[in-house]
Amino acid sequence: MNFISIILTLLIIINQKVNPSINQIFQRMEMYIFFFYIVFIPNVFESFNKEQGRILKALFFISISILYLKTFLLKLPEYKFNLNFNHFKKEGKMKGIYLNFISEKEIGVYKKINYQIKSFNKLGVNTKKCKIIEGKFYINDIFINKYHTGTSFKEKLSRKIDLYFCLKKLQRPKLYEDIDFMYIRYFYSSPWLISYLKFLKKINLKVILEIPTYPYDGEVKDNFFTKWDKKYRKELHKYVDKVVTYSDDKEIWEIPCINISNGIDLKEIQMIDRKKKEGKIILTSVSNCSFWHGIDRFIYSILEYTKNNGKEEIIFNIVGEGNETSKLKQTVKENKLENYVIFHGKRLGKELDEFYNITDIGIGSLGIHRISLETVQPLKNREYCAKGLPFIISFNDPDFINKEFVYKIGNNEKLFDIEKIIEWYKNLKITSKEIREYSKNFSWDIQMKKVVDYLKEGK
């Protein structure tokens, strides 16, 4: 009897230390029931009388039942049930949360996230939305924490503190009662991001991390937080199931990738209604004027064009504003280019459409080399294409290789020949309608289906 008691005690200790899955629980229950009640117990107790045998069998049954009932109840919140016992997964639509900390002020990215969520829902994946309203962060309508969105040093520092508290307060199991996965727009690694990802793994959620630009180390100067990122991103593979990337990488930080392209929603983007201004060639940049957009390159190329007495009258519209705007305005003023380069600030909706309608050529990013990249897939290229506009870029975009309506300049600091661009434009045979037709390849539904296929089938 002492021998049997020791075995039972050891089994209980082992099972308490192991954190079994639901399948392991039932496999062990079957094994122990078979071993104890069919093989072991009858042989051990055949020397006892019937009354003693019944009592001892009952004690074994109660002990093992308590063990598994306790384990099962402790694990119960992590399992989703349905009637067919298929890994106890809940019937109905798959549900997720798209976690991001993007405010409405970041117009382009904000629109992109909304398109992605819309596509998730169209593809049968019910996805909850995060939003920042008047300095407060919400998931759907649930308030989580305050969140600063300003651009001053004080606001940026406050935002780091807000992020810490957001990720702490998001570690509440109740928020995820009906959730199957998390889709997270990457926002740099830190100890508190790792802590949050550990929590998500503990409650058995799939975690998908979208990296908007990769590699991204050249986007910002080294500081305390970028050093943290380089340190802690090495741990992400322990908690992240897949990385969604717009690059060609098959694996990032030891995590397998889902490769997608930036998408568009054609219903939301109207084709240009051409209002041609005779005698002028109008070029337009629509961006947040960051240094990698290389707008200064175009301005200095226009300066060379004017010095060489270019024949065609050109206008360069800069729509949008950002960190580089004041420098660009100073450059235009110093070189007396006010008649050629015009700043219009932010424009949205119909106002923005009016600029597109008078534009001949869209200007994409011309300074991608400044962040040490050769191949990217910017959303703006796809928007120009959906508008039916030919455009200029300086990098490799896999979706626009050797397309006649795309003019590619060198991915470097050299100035370029405006005369050659004008000649290319005048010789274009393709129509705006044909350019827009090509953009149907960039539907967000097509791109997000790659993610949904993985979520539903694990492929």
Q: Over 90: is that where the pLDDT of 273 sits?
A: no
Q: Between 357 and 218, whose confidence is greater?
A: 357
| pLDDT averaged over every residue in the chain | 83
Across 224-233, average pLDDT = 88
Tell me what pLDDT residue 267 has.
Answer: 86
Tell me what pLDDT residue 1 has.
Answer: 43
SS3 of the chain? CHHHHHHHHHHHHHHHHCCCCHHHHHHHHHHHHHHHHHHHHHHHHCCCCHHHHHHHHHHHHHHHHHHHHHHHHHHHHHCCCCCCCCCCCCCCCEEEEEECCCCCCCHHHHHHHHHHHHHHHHCCEEEEEEEEECCEEEECCEEEEECCCCCCHHHHHHHHHHHHHHHHHCCCHHHHCCCCEEEEECCCCCHHHHHHHHHHHHCCCEEEEEECCCCCCCCCCCCHHHHHHHHHHHHHHHCCCEEEECCCCCEECCEEEEECCCCECHHHCCCCCCCCCCCEEEEEEECCCCHHHCHHHHHHHHHHHHHCCCCCEEEEEEECCCCCHHHHHHHHHHCCCCCCEEEEECCCHHHHHHHHHCCCEEECCCCHHHHCCCECCCHHHHHHHHHCCCEEECCECHHHCCCCCEEECCCCCCCCCHHHHHHHHHCCCCCHHHHHHHHHHHEHHHHHHHHHHHHHHCC
Residue 231 CA to chain centroid, in angstroms? 21
Across 76-104, average pLDDT = 62
C-alpha–C-alpha distance, residues 83 and 89, integer Å:
9
In the block, tokens 């099972």 appear at 15
Tell me what pLDDT residue 266 has.
Answer: 87
Across 122-127, average pLDDT = 93
Across 75-91, average pLDDT = 40
Across 53-64, average pLDDT = 64
Across 219-237, average pLDDT = 86
Question: Lowest-pLDDT range, 52-66, 362-376, 405-419?
Answer: 52-66
Given pLDDT bands bounded at 50, 70 and 90, which one contains residue 63?
A: low
**Is-contact 60 36, C-beta < 8 A?**
yes
C-alpha–C-alpha distance, residues 172 and 52, integer Å:
50
243 bridge partner residues: 209, 257
Q: Which of 295, 333, 262 lies closest to 111 in space, CA to CA?
A: 262
Q: Between 162 and 74, whose confidence is greater?
A: 162
Alpha-carbon distances of 79 from 211, 291, 371, 405, rounded to whole Å: 29, 48, 44, 53
Q: N- to C-terminal Cα distance for the chain?
A: 52
Q: What is the largest CA-CA distance in the chain?
A: 115
pLDDT digits (tens, 9 = 90+) for 388-424: 999 999 999 999 999 999 999 999 999 999 999 999 9
The pair phi, psi for residue 259, each rounded to 5°, is: -95, 120
Across 160-189, average pLDDT = 93
Across 215-241, average pLDDT = 86
Q: Over 70: is that where the pLDDT of 247 sits?
A: yes
**Is-contact 149 105, C-beta < 8 A?**
yes
Alpha-carbon distances of 249 from 238, 259, 325, 391, rounded to whole Å: 19, 8, 33, 26
Q: Over 60: is that where the pLDDT of 130 sits?
A: yes
407 bridge partner residues: 392
Tell me what pLDDT residue 60 has.
Answer: 62
Q: Which of 216, 267, 207 lies closest to 237 in space, CA to CA?
A: 207
Q: Which of 376, 366, 101, 364 lies closest to 213 in space, CA to CA?
A: 376
pLDDT digits (tens, 9 = 90+) for 274-291: 766 667 899 999 998 998
Given pLDDT bands bounded at 50, 70 and 90, which one contains residue 107?
A: confident
Given pLDDT bands bounded at 50, 70 and 90, which one contains residue 86?
A: very low
Tell me what pLDDT residue 306 has.
Answer: 94
C-alpha–C-alpha distance, residues 202 and 423, integer Å:
61
Contact partners, residue 415, CB within 8 Å, separation at least 6: 297, 300, 301, 304
Alpha-carbon distances of 325 from 4, 159, 289, 304, rounded to whole Å: 80, 24, 6, 21
Q: Over 50: is that where the pLDDT of 75 sits?
A: no
68 bridge partner residues: none
